């Protein structure tokens, strides 16, 4: 038993380290998801982490304040929190950094006094790491009808598995070194040491290796089954290279200007060619592809750009659908957009930064349920929820401080499966 102690200790170290890393990753991921949700509901109307919009791009804001805003013995992060809650308080305190940036667009800067410090920290975690939960879009095209092969959702535990293998190898090296040191010490004491069995041939090592391979295989099969049919990262090749980055990002065209049925029905709808022509009767040349892509619109709609008349036979553009839900799932855009006041980016990601749109979120049941558990329903001045008298009374009496979708039945099976 004594001979196996180094080996047992090494394996205990491996499993303890892996469980610790897994727990830390889960906590960070949870905070990142919370920060993303808070950012979308509070900040996204004016800011983007990487692209300047109404307000400046926010990535790097923490370091900028840490480096430049320390004042009156308090760190820059203290003043950053104050700025987010009420920027005018930081200016009134005469913080030089705050004073220098107060004229960026003070009339448009919102105040968020109800945000807690831990909520702000979560927002900053997301802002500084906006791509932490986003896959690289798939680029390879698949054979067949105009699309790219769905990129499998990358396992969040891939790094953990590789770390486990590395630690397993290090455990073996540790055991070998420990045994060699025991041999050297014994020889120095004049004790004759009989050649022993190599550690990788011992029963303990073989049993541990089999156990690790078995458990790893179970996790690998389980994750593969969970990801089956998912399309996170799916980016098909479209018949026209339409850039949301140009239209929604640079030109600030509202999503519902093109996707008109998102606020009126179950599906958001594909824009009609007439909608495209509202602008492209006048705009015949793009900044990236010139006239090539816009000419495809003209051909499909039957527009003669020289004579400025419709002279051809119109035909539909065969766009490739990106976001698909199983047939047994019911999702209504209007309920989320009108009643829930959910921003498009919550589910579709930062489309205003996408030159080519891809599926940003997994759209899994767990992902939807978590959103329903975390998302606060906007009760104020929202007649859609006027019949929930008990919840309104509890809010008024401060028995509860918010109402999530879960509290109005948003996690009941029949809400989405019927």
Residue 192 belongs to some domain of the structure = yes
Q: What local confidence, expressed as pLDDT, does residue 179 receive?
A: 74
Domain end call among 140, 170, 203 = 140
Tens digit of each residue's pLDDT (9 = 90 or more) over 34-83: 888 888 778 876 787 887 666 778 888 998 989 888 889 999 899 999 98
190 with 99, same domain: the answer is: no
Residue 200 belongs to some domain of the structure = yes
Q: What is the 3-state secondary structure (H, E, C) of 361-378?
A: CCCCHHHHHHHHHHCECC
Cα(132)–Cα(360) distance, rounded to whole angstroms? 12
The CATH number of the domain holding residue 57 is: 1.10.760.10
Residue 97 belongs to some domain of the structure = yes
Tens digit of each residue's pLDDT (9 = 90 or more) over 149-190: 344 444 455 666 677 777 777 777 777 777 778 777 877 777
More confident residue, 113 or 144: 113
Burial class from Cβ neighbours inside 10 Å (0-12, 13-18, 19+) for residue 340 reads: buried
Cα(61)–Cα(300) distance, rounded to whole angstroms? 46
| Number of independent structural domains in the chain | 2
Tens digit of each residue's pLDDT (9 = 90 or more) over 382-401: 788 888 888 888 888 888 88
| 375: nearest Cα among 414, 329, 408 | 408
Residue 407 belongs to some domain of the structure = no
Average pLDDT, the chain: 80
Q: What local confidence, expressed as pLDDT, does residue 160 receive?
A: 66
Q: What local confidence, expressed as pLDDT, does residue 319 receive?
A: 94
Specify the DSSP element, H or E, that contains 74. Answer: none
43 with 9, same domain: the answer is: no
The confidence band for 238, taking pLDDT boundaries of 50, 70 and 90, is: very high
Domain end call among 191, 207, 227 = 227
41 with 136, same domain: the answer is: yes
Asked whether residue 25 carries a pLDDT value surpassing 90, the answer given is no
Cα(213)–Cα(216) distance, rounded to whole angstroms? 5
Residue 406 belongs to some domain of the structure = no
Q: What local confidence, expressed as pLDDT, does residue 225 receive?
A: 76
13 with 88, same domain: the answer is: no
76 with 181, same domain: the answer is: no
Residue 237 belongs to some domain of the structure = no
Are 294 and 283 in contact, with CB atoms under 8 Å apart? yes
Tens digit of each residue's pLDDT (9 = 90 or more) over 79-91: 999 989 888 888 8
Q: Residue 198: give the domain boundaries.
A: 2-24+154-227
167 with 98, same domain: the answer is: no
Residue 335 belongs to some domain of the structure = no
Domain end call among 140, 165, 182 = 140
Tens digit of each residue's pLDDT (9 = 90 or more) over 266-324: 999 899 999 999 999 989 999 988 999 999 999 999 999 998 899 888 999 999 999 98
Cα(322)–Cα(146) distance, rounded to whole angstroms? 12
Q: Whole-model pTM?
A: 0.53
159 with 19, same domain: the answer is: yes
114 with 186, same domain: the answer is: no
Specify the DSSP element, H or E, that contains 257. Answer: helix 255-258
Q: What local confidence, expressed as pLDDT, does residue 416 receive?
A: 92
Residue 267 belongs to some domain of the structure = no
Asked whether residue 27 carries a pLDDT value surpassing 60, the answer given is no
Q: What local confidence, expressed as pLDDT, does residue 180 receive?
A: 78
Tokens of 370: 């978590």
91 with 163, same domain: the answer is: no
64 with 133, same domain: the answer is: yes
| Residues above pLDDT 90, as percent of the chain | 28
Q: What local confidence, expressed as pLDDT, does residue 139 receive?
A: 37
174 with 188, same domain: the answer is: yes
9 with 74, same domain: the answer is: no
Are 233 and 136 in contact, with CB atoms under 8 Å apart? yes
Tens digit of each residue's pLDDT (9 = 90 or more) over 89-119: 888 899 988 888 876 554 456 788 888 899 9
| Residues above pLDDT 70, as percent of the chain | 83
The confidence band for 13, taking pLDDT boundaries of 50, 70 and 90, is: low
Are 213 and 258 in contact, with CB atoms under 8 Å apart? no
């Amino acid at each position: 038993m004594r001979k196996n102690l180094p080996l047992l200790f090494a394996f205990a170290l491996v499993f303890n380290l892996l469980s610790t890393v897994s727990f830390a990753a889960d906590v960070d991921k949870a905070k990142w998801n919370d920060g993303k949700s808070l950012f979308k509901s509070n900040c996204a109307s004016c800011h983007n982490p990487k692209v300047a919009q109404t307000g400046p791009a926010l990535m790097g804001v923490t370091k900028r304040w840490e480096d430049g805003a320390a004042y009156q013995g308090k760190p820059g992060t203290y003043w950053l929190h104050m700025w987010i809650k009420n920027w005018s308080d930081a200016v009134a305190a005469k913080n030089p950094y705050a004073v220098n940036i107060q004229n960026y667009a003070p009339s448009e800067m919102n105040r968020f006094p109800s945000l807690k410090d831990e909520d702000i920290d979560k927002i900053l975690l997301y802002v500084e790491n906006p791509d932490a939960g986003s896959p690289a879009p798939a680029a390879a095209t698949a054979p067949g009808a105009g699309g790219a092969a769905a990129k499998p959702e990358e396992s969040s535990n891939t790094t953990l598995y590789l770390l486990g293998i590395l630690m397993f190898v290090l455990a073996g090296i540790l055991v070998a070194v420990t045994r060699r040191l025991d041999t050297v010490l014994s020889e120095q004491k004049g004790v004759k040491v009989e050649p022993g069995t190599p550690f990788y041939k011992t029963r303990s090592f073989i049993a541990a290796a089999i156990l690790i391979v078995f458990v790893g295989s179970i996790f690998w099969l389980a994750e593969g089954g969970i990801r089956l049919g998912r399309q996170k990262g799916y980016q098909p090749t479209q018949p026209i290279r339409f850039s949301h980055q140009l239209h929604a990002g640079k030109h600030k065209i509202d999503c519902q200007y093109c996707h008109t049925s998102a606020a009126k029905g179950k599906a958001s709808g594909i824009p009609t060619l007439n909608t495209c022509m509202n602008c492209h009767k006048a705009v015949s040349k793009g900044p990236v592809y010139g006239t090539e892509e816009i000419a495809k619109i003209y051909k499909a709609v039957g527009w003669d750009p020289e004579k400025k008349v419709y002279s051809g036979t119109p035909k539909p553009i065969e766009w490739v659908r990106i976001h698909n839900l199983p047939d047994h799932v019911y999702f209504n855009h209007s309920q989320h957009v009108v009643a829930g006041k959910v921003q498009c980016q919550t589910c579709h990601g930062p489309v205003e930064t996408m030159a080519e749109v891809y599926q940003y979120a997994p759209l899994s049941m767990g992902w939807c349920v978590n959103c329903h558990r975390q998302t606060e329903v906007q009760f104020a001045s929202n007649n859609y929820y006027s019949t929930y008298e008990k919840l309104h009374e509890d809010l008024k009496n401060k028995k509860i401080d918010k109402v999530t979708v879960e509290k109005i039945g948003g996690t009941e099976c029949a809400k989405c499966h019927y």
